[in-house]
Amino acid sequence: MSKSRSFEINQNLASPNRNITPITTELDHLGRLKVGGCLLSELAEQYGTPLYVLDETTIRRSCEAYRESFRKFYPGESLVLYASKANSSLCISNLVASEGFGIDVVSEGELLTALRSGIPGEKIVLHGNNKSINELELAYKNKATIILDNQHDIDLLRKIIKENDQPAKVMLRFTPGIECHTHEYIRTGHLDSKFGFDPKELIKVFNQLKDVSFANVLGLHAHIGSQIFELTPHIDLADIMTDVLKKGRDIGFPINDLNVGGGLGIKYVSSDDPPSIQDWVKTVAKSISDACSKKNLSLPRLLCEPGRSIIASAGLTLYKIGSRKDIPNGKTYISVDGGMSDNPRPITYQSNYTACLVDRPLAKSDEVVTIAGKHCESGDILLKNVHLPSSSSGDVLSVFATGAYNLSMSSNYNRIPRPASVIVANGESKMMQLRELPEDLLRYDLLPDRFIAKG
Ligand SMILES: *Cc1c(COP(=O)(O)O)cnc(C)c1O
């Protein structure tokens, strides 16, 4: 089926997740694309391609939308944590912290990145369904909150923390049993998910943690999935979470934190219509406060963990077009200088994207093409059936909404180095991550002695 994927410059300034392009996207006097005041073709020239570009204004506007909406719609305290697995770096951690956010991490690497960027441990939460001793110790030493996912976490903490030590601050993660419509790999709320305690186990877990000296249960956590366009699952979640909150408090835990996870979707193609950040927060805040008043519970501090909706639409990837293959009576392939190593989402989740030629974004399209990556997999296709003006080798192509789960999921497949990453604002671009070189990939490569030719 041929699907047209027309490029559009949206200016939904209030809720950047509802735009395909960063909110600072504009045309110069020659009709060429600029983002953050920087001409995209000049960025490609200056830094080379493929290149990840992030627009600072879009990230800050998304943070502000979450922060201000909680202030407006939730009468209690709140804290937004950026889910750093979407795109983790010193610069982004520092940026979201400057917006008053905390950070959610799932590994020693992400934890170290957040700490080194200057975020105090108190504003970090550690997730993971198989945490190592090192991860738990580093989180504990830095006073981060640990989200207990399973019995193994409890057993390890009991080992690490001695009788007279400070107890660890913990939250219990459970599977809420909510089905939502998203790709099965990014669904987490259904009962047979690998994450969190089964709700039927919770009473046992509460009883086990009742009088222990190594852990203070301060909160509850649940996350239903990612790239979600519906609001109803969040209303259902509020009911389920406040039931557990009541049980925990009845048993005697001073539970004050409810963490409802992340999951708000973004617009990748023009047919996507995600709710705004404002509507998402309003729904979550209202359903939690309504459920609390109905169940006669004092309002908890409300936490959430957006990743994609903070950073996806701030990002784009620039590629140079190379070869072309016209199959008689068939497809036209246009190949670019990156692919599944810098964007594994199409081959993993069949994700759709929007693209355009950066110097002729609005030119009339005169062909329908398939944009292929350069890797040795037939499935390494970035976009299918894209309407583009005719292009030639060397033209710069932009793929939009690549700020989340691209760099963070990138690989060196085919020994292709990772792209550089730059952040743009007010006409200025700054490097956030150096481009890898083929030499870098050999740094960890060893030739054992007996393979070295003698003589
Ligand atoms: C992935 C994840 C998030 C962020 O999800 P988004 O869809 O990127 O907002 C938040 N919390 C947890 C526990 C996650 O696993």
Which atom of ligand 1 is nearest to 405's Cα? 8
User: What does the pLDDT average to over 438-444?
Assistant: 95
SS (H, E, C) the chain: CCCCCCCCCCCCCCCHHHCCCCCCCEECCCCCEEECCEEHHHHHHHHCCCEEEEEHHHHHHHHHHHHHHHHHHCCCCEEEEEEHHHCCCHHHHHHHHHCCCEEEECCHHHHHHHHHCCCCHHHEEECCCCCCHHHHHHHHHCCCEEEECCHHHHHHHHHHCCCCCCCEEEEEEECCCCCCCCCHHHECCCCCCCCCECHHHHHHHHHHHCCCCCEEEEEEECCCECCECCCHHHHHHHHHHHHHHHHHHHHCCCCCEEECCCCECCCCCCCCCCCCHHHHHHHHHHHHHHHHHHCCCCCCEEEECCCHHHHHHHEEEEEEEEEEEECCCCCEEEEECCCCCCCCHHHHHCCCCCEEECCCCCCCCCEEEEEECCCCCCCCEEEEEEEECCCCCCCEEEEECCCCCCHHHCCCHHHCCCCEEEEEECCEEEEEECCCCHHHHCCCCCCCHHHCCCC
Mean pLDDT score of the chain = 95
- Report the alpha-carbon distance of residue 35 to residue 314 in Å, rounded: 10
Percent of the chain exceeding pLDDT 70 equals 96
In this predicted structure, what is the pLDDT of residue 262?
A: 97
The residue whose CB lies within 8 Å of the most ligand 1 atoms, and thus the one to mutate among 305, 309, 351, is 305
Nearest CA to ligand 1 atom 3: 262
Instruction: Give the pLDDT confidence of 386-406 residue by residue, as tens digits.
Output: 999 999 999 999 999 999 999
Mention every residue, 6+ apart, whose C-beta is less than 8 A from residue 45. none
Taking residue 259's Cβ as centre, other Cβ atoms within 10 Å add up to 26
User: What does the pLDDT average to over 127-140?
Assistant: 98
Instruction: Give the pLDDT confidence of 43-76 residue by residue, as tens digits.
Output: 999 999 999 999 999 999 999 999 999 999 999 9
User: What does the pLDDT average to over 183-208?
Assistant: 85
Instruction: Give the pLDDT confidence of 216-233 residue by residue, as tens digits.
Output: 999 999 999 999 999 999
Distance 328 CA to ligand 1 centre (A): 44
Instruction: Give the pLDDT confidence of 279-303 residue by residue, as tens digits.
Output: 999 999 999 999 999 999 999 999 9
Instruction: Give the pLDDT confidence of 330-371 residue by residue, as tens digits.
Output: 999 999 999 999 999 999 999 999 999 999 999 999 899 999
Distance 305 CA to ligand 1 centre (A): 6
308 touches ligand 1 (CB under 6 Å): yes
Q: Is the distance from CB of 45 to CB of 253 less than 8 angstroms?
A: no
Q: Is the distance from CB of 259 to CB of 125 less than 8 angstroms?
A: yes
144: tokens are 């981060």
Instruction: Give the pLDDT confidence of 84-114 residue by residue, as tens digits.
Output: 999 999 999 999 999 999 999 999 999 999 9
Q: Which residue has the tokens 């990748």?
A: 268
Domains of the chain: 16-55+312-437 (2.40.37.10), 57-311 (3.20.20.10)
Is the per-residue pLDDT at 1 higher than 50? no
289 touches ligand 1 (CB under 6 Å): no
In the residue annotation, 376 being an active-site residue is answered as yes
- Report the alpha-carbon distance of residue 23 to residue 429 in Å, rounded: 16
Mention every residue, 6+ apart, whose C-beta is less than 8 A from residue 347. 340, 377, 379, 380, 381
Q: Partners of 400 in the beta sheet?
A: 316
Supply the Cα-derived Rg of the chain in whole angstroms: 23
- Report the alpha-carbon distance of residue 301 to residue 221 in Å, rounded: 12
- Report the alpha-carbon distance of residue 397 to residue 359 in Å, rounded: 9
In this predicted structure, what is the pLDDT of residue 6?
A: 64
In this predicted structure, what is the pLDDT of residue 4?
A: 46
83 touches ligand 1 (CB under 6 Å): yes
Q: Which residue has the tokens 């193994």?
A: 152
The residue whose CB lies within 8 Å of the most ligand 1 atoms, and thus the one to mutate among 172, 188, 197, 223, is 223
Q: Which of 129, 78, 82, 143 is nearest to 110 (CA)?
A: 82
> CB-hemisphere CA count at 13 Å for 256?
8
32 confidence band (pLDDT: 50, 70, 90): very high
128 touches ligand 1 (CB under 6 Å): no
Q: The pTM is what?
A: 0.96
